[in-house]
Structure 1
Amino acid sequence: MPDMPDVAETTDKVGTGSTGAYAEQYRRSLDDPDGFWLEAARAVDWTRRPTRALDDSAAPLYRWFPDGELNTAHNALDRHVDAGRGEQDALLWDSPVTGSKRRYTYRELRDEVATFAGALRGLGVGKGDRVVLYLPMVPEAVIAMLACARLGAVHSVVFGGFAPRELATRVDDARPKVVVTASCGIEPTRVVEYVPIVRRALADTTHRPDHVVVLQRDTKHAELRDGELDWTTLVASARPVDPVPVAATDPLYILYTSGTTGRPKGVVRDTGGHAVALTWSMANIYDIGPGDVWWTASDVGWVVGHSYIVYAPLLVGATSVLYEGKPVGTPDAGAFWRVVSEYGVRALFTAPTAIRAIKRVDPDGAEMARYDLSRFRTLFLAGERTDPQTYHWAAERLGVPVVDHWWQTETGWAIAANPRGLEPLPPKPGSVTVPMPGWDVRVLDQSGKERPSGQEGAIAVRLPLPPGALPTLWGDDDRYIEAYLSRYEGYYLTGDSGYLDPDGYLFVMGRTDDVINVAGHRLSTGAIEAVLAAHPAVAECAVIGVHDALKGQLPRGFVVLKAGADITEEKLREELVAAVRAEIGPVAAFRDVAVVDALPKTRSGKVLRKTMRALADGRDEPVPSTIEDPEVLDRLKAVLRPKR
């Protein structure tokens, strides 16, 4: 068993730059988790208030608020209407791909949710039943999610446009009573028909849902078959239903991790811990409260969309923007700033790749300058490492704090962040700032011993994980333990590498498999990427390790140029190789860099480094179903394949 320092040792190291509210709350969350989280739970409405926070009787399968009972949809909608704020905007839908906009007050959204919940009940959906949602970024996606929560049913959102095989595996795992879909999804350059995809998926499943509900979109209608029900017709005859109380430990949703092969891993989110953690995070991390306009530029198919498009902003009575578009191309690189200006957005949460895409097309910020951003206060980034160059570009042009923070599908909310609402801390470019309350973050070596400050290792979290994190995987406790808890006894393994500096600031450098071994020297590809990204002609980049007979591995770089960059590929290569040699050292043996038109990414913005590594080493790696544009990877294959 690895050495296990006590809580006092850890809290003395974390956030040492702060002696104020953050440090006090962080220490209390580890010293007295019951007291800390029961106090946080007061911000939530309960039908039966919990008397204790942590249940460790089945460790390492921890549960939070075991004797509590509540309903998430009530907390997100009804209580705000009951408090007299029913006419406040709850949801603002903006769809540049269709030219449509729609507003919902809290009262209107509650009524829509209650009615669709009644429609689902009429189809036999009740407490504990599953519903799979395969929908685009439309208000009905939010309505369907909250309707399931209202009934105590468990929803599983599958990203609209996923291939039939991927949808089929999720249907077989969740075994839903109903599948809810739309006639189509709309991309900037094409219309994706969803109903044929759903039909092909269900033809391959062993489990058959009782019903398929189809939302007809104006862009493309679907001809329905027997067993397929029209959303509008179904709702017209439905009666609204009241919220159904559920145990705090009951599941709210299942979200399948991206890039899985074979049987997918269904991350479970429990109801009580989820509501408490997200409510705490909105006030203390994001500094957002009732009436504030908040925009998460993500998708409801991802955890970011679940947590911070739908649930968290509505739990605290904020106004949430739902956007069906892209950062560039719908119609231009000013799309984000138009939305921020038009709705008076106070804070935006998006992926670094979105900002890099904007920077690439509009490096001087000319499009940004066209809009009034005076009400904008903070830019939050997560999903990929934010390189210092992107951080500085955004901070300088926006003139507001840029907050990089770090979390995962499994964790549901930030492991590390800058707590803007609790105590804003001095930022450090390249760092995700400090661990949040409940997250006992350690950096371990291969034997499980803690690494000294400044030295990179595997980032792990000492158990128990705080409320809001996954309690298990759907239907498979053993797989949960084997996948996440078995590497280091007593710890959750994040799969990321990084280090803590002497001030307790956390630097996340990338996945642990993004550490390469060059002639016995372990190097972080994230560190090399930071050097490449600093070049004024580079918009974004990726570095992978490829097999080398002499040195074991060598780094290969791929860079995308900024629009209008005036430099030859040969000159750029010389300058980048020299920069890596100067910043990292000759030991990196960095000589191979190629200019490409784009990097292959998932729809959430993560670069497909694992797939790129496999191709470079001559292996056939399954292409993740979450890929944004398969053609980008196809164009790269000629560059990536090893030379014979």
Structure 2
Amino acid sequence: MQSRYFDVYRAWENNPEEFWRDAADAIDWFKQPEKIFDQSQGVYGRWFVGGETNTCYNCLDRHVAAGRGEQRAFIYDSVMNGAKKSFTYAEVLTEVKAIAAVLRDLGIGKGDRVVIYMPMVPEAVFSMLACARLGAVHSVVFGGFAAQELAARLNDSEAKLIISASCGLEPGRVVAYKPLLEKAIELAMAKPDHCLILQRPELNAAINPERGEFDFTELVDKARGREIECVPVKATDPLYILYTSGTTGQPKGVVRDNGGHMVALQWSMPNIFGMAPGEVFWTASDIGWVVGHSYIVYAPLLNGNTSIIFEGKPVGTPDAGTFWRVAAEYDVKVLFTAPTAFRAIRRDDPEGEFVENYDLLGLRALFLAGERADSETLRWAEEKLKVPVIDHWWQTETGWPIAANTVGLGLMPFKHGSPTRPMPGYAVDVLDDAGKPVPPHTLGNIAIRLPLPPGCLVSFWNADARFRESCLDEFPGYYKTADAGVIDDDGYVFVMARTDDIINCAGHRLSTGSMEEVCAKHPDVAECAVIGVKDRVKGQIPCGFLVLKNHVSRETSEIAAEVAGMVRDEIGPVAAFKTVMVVPKLPKTRSGKILRGTMQKIADDMPWTMPATIEDPATLDVVRETLWKNGFAHEDKTVAAPVK
């Protein structure tokens, strides 16, 4: 069957406002928008101007009012402590109203900021929805995030309240949150009025009411049963701030509005992901990331799906079959996670033996995003799961996919290495450094023509000028994605690397992503990273890092030489790919992104800070030691990040 994608994309191209007007009919409005798009407002224009709505109402109230209150909204599954619980839409609505009542009693109202600093527990998600119900602006910060980083976010958002927990659970350890929280408040110039602490059974935290600290559960229990109506907000009012690490050390607060955010996410669920109301959708991520905001919380609820809140890891909790157990137990129809999760599973279970232990006949598709999905990992997942494996591409800034293969509109032919074609709303071009479009198959800067579609960021929090400078000024008329790649003759987008990862080797622009693609083909390689390091003669040369599959017993020098030869054969001697190192693990963020930029700074003896989002700081120590043994990274230039 031919995909309907082309007709739908053409309909958007021919009349963008009419397209999004129709899409907006899928959500409930208290007041219909006066203008679908107003170019005179905001930094590049605003969507659904004059409309009034409420995100919590669309996620919960309307489904309960329509008689679907007894359908499951969330399934909580913690492999860390064995807890399992389901919540219907009606039950979630009751809990959200109670939390909203507590927040209101503590002085939280429309436009106030609330920081949520919690692990992957249902109360964290309910607190997000409670903020939305009141028109308050939430900002989720990973539970266990460094105190210095939390302080920077408190300063920037000027949050009036923090909702936290006594601890988080990591494999083999309990992470106490209260000391980190206290240190952050001590460091912060802007101090919250109150803190709510969810006590977890694994660790009790001291709570001091005289300092504005209260037991979350006690207050919510007392408020349960109170009626708290949804506060109407403008479509253009902010729903949340999500901070990403900025290159200056100052966090960037990505601002998402209410109206455009709902319309885009609602459209994406049936059309991109092929989800029907009532089906189970599982995003194996964390609400600290945009993926968790969009596809654990808001999109599934808007579409009337059941979403899974999962506390655990893809491997080691207890084994590489955890994902398959969850998918089988809850009849997951679509699974969405990061490529790094599948690389870890493939490393621990290269033959896919755990897959055979579970009934996955209900699974229709696997979506991957967050980092380039190498062809070898894609093929492995296709072979083991026997479902379409869809690499799709988007960013914290966009909030939903820029490019994807559309399950709901009918799949297009697959091309490994490509997230397929742009979604309606996104006109994607590849530009040279002067901002001119380049021919097909030419490597350049990937940019999106303005205006950005509904659901994308409207600006940075209180920093319009910084948003223009960072994202809009370099290529006038475009949003700069900071990704590099090519578009082929069929309009397929190939995202090769961040623009910072394009290296200039003896005058040749080379993509580290294309070299990683070759490295990953070696049968002993589980995952890899390639960075550019300074070279006196060539300017930069590539340097490869390999993580081998478990139980590989061959000499690492032999494997490294083979990989170097493969790159030389496939890309050519111009790549000058000779330096290959084997490490036990790659340094990554908690979402699975490899910290290539930090690795490059270490190799080049540049000052660097320990990234706030790093999963395991020891991995960078190993990288530095390995570089030192190979003649790089002569000095330790670690610097402390400032609190701003």
TM-score, length basis structure 2? 0.96
Where does residue 361 of structure 1 map in the other structure?
348
Matched, 1:518 2:505: yes
| In 2, Cα distance between equivalents of 1:513 and 1:260 | 11
Where does residue 74 of structure 1 map in the other structure?
57
Where does residue 344 of structure 1 map in the other structure?
331
Where does residue 260 of structure 2 map in the other structure?
273
> SS state of the match for residue 394, structure 1?
helix
How many Å apart are 1:19 and its aligned residue?
A: 7.9
1:48 to 24, 31, 35: 31
Where does residue 534 of structure 1 map in the other structure?
521
Where does residue 25 of structure 1 map in the other structure?
8
How many Å apart are 1:635 and its aligned residue?
A: 1.4
How many Å apart are 1:25 and its aligned residue?
A: 1.8
1:599 to 565, 586, 611: 586
1:245 to 232, 241, 253: 232
| In 2, Cα distance between equivalents of 1:20 and 1:222 | 55
How many Å apart are 1:365 and its aligned residue?
A: 0.4
Contact 2:74 2:309 in 1 (8 A): yes
Where does residue 149 of structure 2 map in the other structure?
166
Where does residue 216 of structure 2 map in the other structure?
231
Aligned pairs (5 A) from 1:29-428: 29-58=12-41, 60-225=43-208, 226=210, 227-238=212-223, 239-258=226-245, 261-428=248-415
| In 2, Cα distance between equivalents of 1:236 and 1:340 | 32
| In 2, Cα distance between equivalents of 1:418 and 1:456 | 22
1:99-125 Cα distance to aligned partner (Å, 9 max, x none): 111110000001100111011001010
How many Å apart are 1:387 and its aligned residue?
A: 0.3
2:485 to 498, 522, 527: 498
| In 2, Cα distance between equivalents of 1:278 and 1:611 | 33
| In 1, Cα distance between equivalents of 2:613 and 2:444 | 28
Contact 2:561 2:580 in 1 (8 A): no
1:487 to 474, 484, 495: 474
Contact 1:116 1:240 in 2 (8 A): no
Contact 1:117 1:240 in 2 (8 A): no
| Shift in alpha-carbon separation, 1:70–1:91, aligned structure 2, 3 A | same
| In 1, Cα distance between equivalents of 2:411 and 2:3 | 10
How many Å apart are 1:386 and its aligned residue?
A: 0.3
1:113-157 Cα distance to aligned partner (Å, 9 max, x none): 011101100101011111000000000010000000000100000
The answer for unaligned runs of 5 or more in structure 1 is 1-17
| In 2, Cα distance between equivalents of 1:453 and 1:189 | 50
| In 2, Cα distance between equivalents of 1:73 and 1:220 | 31
1:247-271 Cα distance to aligned partner (Å, 9 max, x none): 0000000000136554311000000
| Aligned residue identity for 1:194 | Y
1:581 to 564, 568, 579: 568
| In 1, Cα distance between equivalents of 2:197 and 2:13 | 47
| In 2, Cα distance between equivalents of 1:259 and 1:483 | 10
| In 2, Cα distance between equivalents of 1:240 and 1:140 | 19
> SS state of the match for residue 90, structure 2?
helix
| In 2, Cα distance between equivalents of 1:259 and 1:465 | 21
| Aligned residue identity for 1:366 | E
RMSD (CA atoms): 1.2
How many Å apart are 1:467 and its aligned residue?
A: 0.1
| In 1, Cα distance between equivalents of 2:191 and 2:505 | 51
| In 1, Cα distance between equivalents of 2:142 and 2:589 | 11
1:181-216 Cα distance to aligned partner (Å, 9 max, x none): 000000012111111111100011111111000000
| Aligned residue identity for 2:125 | V
Bigger drift between 254-263 and 575-584 goes to 254-263
The answer for unaligned runs of 5 or more in structure 2 is 635-644
> SS state of the match for residue 94, structure 1?
strand
> SS state of the match for residue 158, structure 1?
strand
Contact 1:259 1:624 in 2 (8 A): no
| Aligned residue identity for 2:186 | A
> SS state of the match for residue 572, structure 1?
helix
Where does residue 457 of structure 1 map in the other structure?
444
Bigger drift between 162-171 and 58-67 goes to 58-67
How many Å apart are 1:236 and its aligned residue?
A: 2.4
Contact 2:45 2:451 in 1 (8 A): yes
| In 2, Cα distance between equivalents of 1:266 and 1:75 | 25
| In 1, Cα distance between equivalents of 2:207 and 2:251 | 29
Where does residue 14 of structure 1 map in the other structure?
none
| In 1, Cα distance between equivalents of 2:222 and 2:585 | 49
Matched, 1:557 2:540: no
Contact 2:518 2:570 in 1 (8 A): yes
| In 1, Cα distance between equivalents of 2:183 and 2:370 | 31
| In 1, Cα distance between equivalents of 2:633 and 2:123 | 50
How many Å apart are 1:567 and its aligned residue?
A: 2.2
| In 2, Cα distance between equivalents of 1:20 and 1:236 | 50
> SS state of the match for residue 252, structure 1?
strand
Q: How many residues end up aligned between the 2 structures?
A: 627
1:588-632 Cα distance to aligned partner (Å, 9 max, x none): 111110111000000011000000000000112112100000011
| In 2, Cα distance between equivalents of 1:559 and 1:477 | 41
1:547-583 Cα distance to aligned partner (Å, 9 max, x none): 1111111111000001122421122122111111110
| In 2, Cα distance between equivalents of 1:630 and 1:190 | 16
| Aligned residue identity for 1:405 | H
| In 1, Cα distance between equivalents of 2:109 and 2:159 | 11
Identity of aligned residues (%): 58
| In 2, Cα distance between equivalents of 1:397 and 1:608 | 29
1:361-416 Cα distance to aligned partner (Å, 9 max, x none): 00000111111101011000000000000000000110000000000000000010
Where does residue 432 of structure 1 map in the other structure?
419
| In 2, Cα distance between equivalents of 1:160 and 1:622 | 20
> SS state of the match for residue 168, structure 1?
helix
> SS state of the match for residue 550, structure 2?
coil
Contact 1:132 1:156 in 2 (8 A): yes
| Aligned residue identity for 2:124 | A
| Shift in alpha-carbon separation, 1:136–1:87, aligned structure 2, 3 A | same
Where does residue 475 of structure 1 map in the other structure?
462
Bigger drift between 42-51 and 325-334 goes to 42-51
| In 2, Cα distance between equivalents of 1:30 and 1:495 | 24
| In 1, Cα distance between equivalents of 2:80 and 2:355 | 20
| Shift in alpha-carbon separation, 1:76–1:59, aligned structure 2, 3 A | closer
How many Å apart are 1:60 and its aligned residue?
A: 4.1
How many Å apart are 1:20 and its aligned residue?
A: 5.3
TM-score, length basis structure 1? 0.96
How many Å apart are 1:233 and its aligned residue?
A: 1.4
| Aligned residue identity for 1:150 | R
Aligned pairs (5 A) from 1:627-638: 627-638=614-625
| In 2, Cα distance between equivalents of 1:568 and 1:20 | 48
> SS state of the match for residue 57, structure 2?
helix
> SS state of the match for residue 594, structure 1?
strand
